[in-house]
Amino acid sequence: MATQRTFSILKPDATRRNLTGAINQKFEENGLRIVAQKRIHMTRDQAEGFYAVHKERPFFGELVEFMISEPVVIQVLEGEDAVKKNRDIMGATNPEEADAGTIRKEYALSIGENSVHGSDSDENAAIEIAYFFKDDEIVG
């Protein structure tokens, strides 16, 4: 599998609890390189646009409110098979279903406040990276 890039968000429940370093350590010790990183306070427009695919879901309003409630850290992660590798490191969306040792098993508070987001496909990774980063902000 070739080197890939994926998009990652450390969500408000993680930044609030000062878990940025602990989560980044999980990425780095598992072979993912942080090639871009910014701490931002997402606007409502940014959050609604980013999660537009979930617009009709019952949790959409709650999801947007949560994502704009406090700062997040947005990242581009690079490595071998990065999209799948990051999903393995994160664990299942619902922390109750996440495997031991994954970020969500260790740190997530609930299915909504689940500490991290990671792209679900190579195609979405490219779209999500371009949504938040300019090419010259990514230094591999």
Catalytic residues: 117
Helix axes 82-90, 20-29, angle to 10 degrees: 130
The 3-10 sheet, strands edge to edge: 33-40, 72-80, 3-10, 116-118
Closer to ligand CMP by Cβ: residue 52 or 139: 52
Site for ligand CMP in 55-74 (CB under 6 A): 59, 62-63
Minimum CB separation of residue 65 from ligand CMP in Å reads: 11
Binding mask 117-136 for ligand CMP (x = CB under 6 A): x-------------------
* Spatial contact of 8 and 77, defined as CB atoms under 8 Å apart: yes
Is there binding between residue 114 and ligand CMP (CB under 6 A)? Answer: yes
87 binds ligand CMP (CB under 6 A): no
Our CB check for ligand CMP shows the closer of 70 and 140 to be: 70
- Angle subtended by helix axes 82-90 and 122-132, to nearest 10: 80
CA angle 36, 40, 42 (to 5 degrees): 120
Residue with Cβ nearer ligand CMP (51 or 138):
51
Q: Are 11 and 40 spatial neighbours (Cβ–Cβ below 8 Å)?
A: no
Interacting residue with ligand CMP among 20, 37, 69, 93 (CB under 6 A): 93
Binding site for ligand CMP (CB under 6 A): 54, 59, 62-63, 93, 111-112, 114, 117
